[in-house]
Amino acid sequence: MEIDLVRLTGSVAYAVLFIVAAGWDAWTRKIPNWTVAALAVLFLFAQLLTWSTPNWLSSFCAFGLVMLAGVPMFARRLVGAGDVKLLAVAALFAGMENLLLLLVATAIAGGALALVALAARPYAGAFGGWIRGRAGVPYGVAIAVGALHVGTTTGMLAISQRLTHLQL
């Protein structure tokens, strides 16, 4: 298998940035803007380097759709601004063709996270920062799980596109 270093670097950066955003959200309940900005820049590089991302139109339509639904939800305090931004940048990578997969994977991960948070609430002191007395869960974790699922399912996180020699 021939490893493409550009794809490897992009895949690692994609995964690390989503994991950092999720960890930060789990610990502080805030998603840093620099992680969202770095993911947006990574998307631009991925488009320029013909990485396995959807075309511009599909990506920006998915981004716009998430923002169109997310901003009113933020205005009503149903979700955090960081969650909307992180999901929107994940939608850039997913495009319209994988937006439903992203949303369903995120919803399933969010439901599981909510169940864990409810079950662990009596033991909040032992878990440190992310389980607190207030309602809600760090949904950036669920968004990161959804984004990583889309990345692995669509082949975006693959480090090679072809086998050059197979030796048995």
Q: Looking at residue 126, what is its pLDDT?
A: 61
Residues 93-106 have a mean pLDDT of 96
Distance of CA 40 to the CA centre of its chain: 12
Rg of the chain in Å (alpha carbons): 17
pTM: 0.87
Q: 3-class DSSP state for residue 90?
A: helix
Q: pLDDT by residue (tens digit) across 78-94?
A: 999 999 999 999 999 99
Dihedral angle computed from the Cα positions of residues 55, 61, 67 and 68, in that order, rounded to the nearest 10 degrees: 180
Domain range list for the chain: 5-153
Instruction: At 39, list the tokens.
Output: 């993911």
Give the Cα separation of 49 and 31 in Å (integer).
27
C-alpha distances (whole Å) from 71 to each of 66, 92, 109, 151 are 8, 16, 21, 25
pLDDT score of 148 more than 60: yes
Q: pLDDT by residue (tens digit) across 11-64?
A: 899 999 999 999 999 888 899 999 999 999 999 998 887 777 788 999 999 999
Q: pLDDT by residue (tens digit) across 25-38?
A: 988 889 999 999 99
